Amino acid sequence: MEWNSGECSFLLKKNRQMLSFWEKQSFLNYDLVVLGSGIVGLSTAISFKEKKPEKRILILERGIFPYGASIKNAGFACYGSAAEIWHDIGQLGMDRALSVVEMRVKGMQKLRKRLGDEAIGYEENGGGEIFRQEDAFEAGILPELNRLLHPFFGKTVFEKDPEGGRSLGFQSQHISEFIRNRVEGQIDTGKMMQNLLALARQKGIELITGAEAAMPVQTANGWQIPLVNGPMVFHSEKIAVCTNAFAAKLFPDWDIRPGRGQVLITKPIKNLQWKGIFHFDEGYYYFRNVGQRVLFGGGRNLDFEGETTFEPALSPAIQQQLENYLKTLILPENQDFEIEDRWSGIMAFGKEKVPIIKNFGNGLAAGVRMNGMGIAIGTEAGEQLALMLSEI
């Protein structure tokens, strides 16, 4: 039998794909495809399934398991330090800054209700904010902030500690003010992500890992989503982009830039005197206990340009600064410690410190740019996105 050139090129194309009718029917067609299996992607898929149980949902994740900030963070269930919220009010205006706080509060409530405190390792130990000798602090803002936040928490959030953190073993000679925070909590990030994944699977949501989505293409009846690393092309009526910083790679005109966060964790320290989550330098540095260990991260402001990167690496200068602060501020003088591990993850920032949660009106919606607050905000972001998607 002879083939003409048209049939030949058709066959060559077919050979490259080699997908059966069954594969196409059962594995490539969905009602909703979610890009990214971080806290926002998983929460979006779960909330959408709760609203539309009959719909088929697929999550595509580029990593072998979720490989973004949601599994690399410090696990602060935080609503914002006094300096941070005051700064946000100045930048965003009162209403928008408070609406971000409200999203954090709602997000944490929903996450705790959805999975339960044990499944996310939630502990409400409170914490505080350290002002170093060189930091400016306006004591007058506390009563006003407490008044503004009272409707969300029903109690006084910020209190000045007259001892400057001495009772916790911080090196108080370097501290000009220490503001206690009674409402913040901490989670076990690994447990939270494992249990969120388990819930998604239990609800019948499909997840394909090792599947990096390329630029989606709009068609007459939905979206085609090709993969960077394979011949498969998924088809879906609706699509939710939940790839946080990495959305900038697919949609370069969105106002998103990556920001690397670096972290270290010590080996257990005998007689660690405190529990809780703490910040300083307007939240650029943050530390907490993990049992008897100290997890300490930040320092992006030492090199904004260098840390505006998708590269998951460590920089010696920032790691050294973290160790210096452990020695000179956080742990008692002459306290021995050893570093057990170090890692980094990529956050997403933009001109404004608010997430992008947007319905583009063509079956595509996005929940991205979660800044440094995705743990608290992620579940609420997913809920809002699912609501948009169920209405379009």
Ligand X SMILES: Cc1cc2nc3c(=O)[nH]c(=O)nc-3n(C[C@H](O)[C@H](O)[C@H](O)COP(=O)(O)OP(=O)(O)OC[C@H]3O[C@@H](n4cnc5c(N)ncnc54)[C@H](O)[C@@H]3O)c2cc1C
- Decide if residue 85 touches ligand X (CB under 6 A): no
Residue whose CB is less far from ligand X, 124 or 174: 124
Nearest approach in angstroms of CB 345 to ligand X is 3
Question: Is residue 40 near ligand X by the rule CB under 6 A?
Answer: yes
* Beta carbon nearer to ligand X, 180 or 369: 369
| 293 backbone dihedrals φ, ψ, rounded to 5° | -95, 160
Q: What is the footprint of ligand X within residues 326-385 (CB under 6 A)?
A: 345, 347, 370, 372-376, 378
| CA angle, residues 36, 39, 40, in degrees to nearest 5 | 65
Least separation, in Å, of the C-beta of 322 and ligand X?
Answer: 11
Pair of tokens at residue 203? 């609800």
Stretch that binds ligand X, among 30-38, 117-125, 160-168, 305-313 (CB under 6 A): 30-38
> How far, in Å, CA of 114 to CA of 180, rounded?
29
Among 47, 70, 171, 384, binds ligand X (CB under 6 A): 70
Question: Is 33 in contact with 234 (CB distance < 8 Å)?
Answer: yes
Query: Is 283 among the residues that bind ligand X (CB under 6 A)?
Result: no
Which of 39, 130, 196, 329 is in the footprint of ligand X by CB under 6 A?
39
DSSP-assigned letters across all residues of 14-75: HHHH---HHHHHHHSEEEEEEE--SHHHHHHHHHHHHH-TTS-EEEE-SSSS--SGGGTS--
Q: Please, which residue, 180 or 353, has the CB nearer to ligand X? A: 353
Binding status of residue 318 toward ligand X by CB under 6 A: no
Residues within window 212-231 making contact with ligand X, judged by CB under 6 A = 212-213
Distance from C-alpha of 172 to C-alpha of 130, rounded to nearest angstrom: 10
Q: What is the 3-state secondary structure (H, E, C) of 232-276?
A: CEEEEEEEEECCHHHHHHHCCCCCCEEEEEEEEEECCCCCCCCCC
If one asks whether residue 41 binds ligand X (CB under 6 A), the answer comes out as yes
Structure tokens given for 100: 């971000």
What minimum distance in Å lies between the beta carbon of 82 and ligand X?
17
244 lies in the binding site for ligand X (CB under 6 A):
yes
Q: Which is nearer to ligand X, 164 or 296 (CB)?
A: 296
Is there binding between residue 61 and ligand X (CB under 6 A)?
A: yes
Asked whether position 299 contacts ligand X by CB under 6 A, the answer is no
- Picking from 221, 216, 233, the residue whose alpha carbon sits closest to that of residue 35 is 216
> Which positions touch ligand X (CB under 6 A)?
35-41, 60-63, 66-70, 72-76, 78, 212-213, 242-244, 246, 261, 263, 297, 345, 347, 370, 372-376, 378
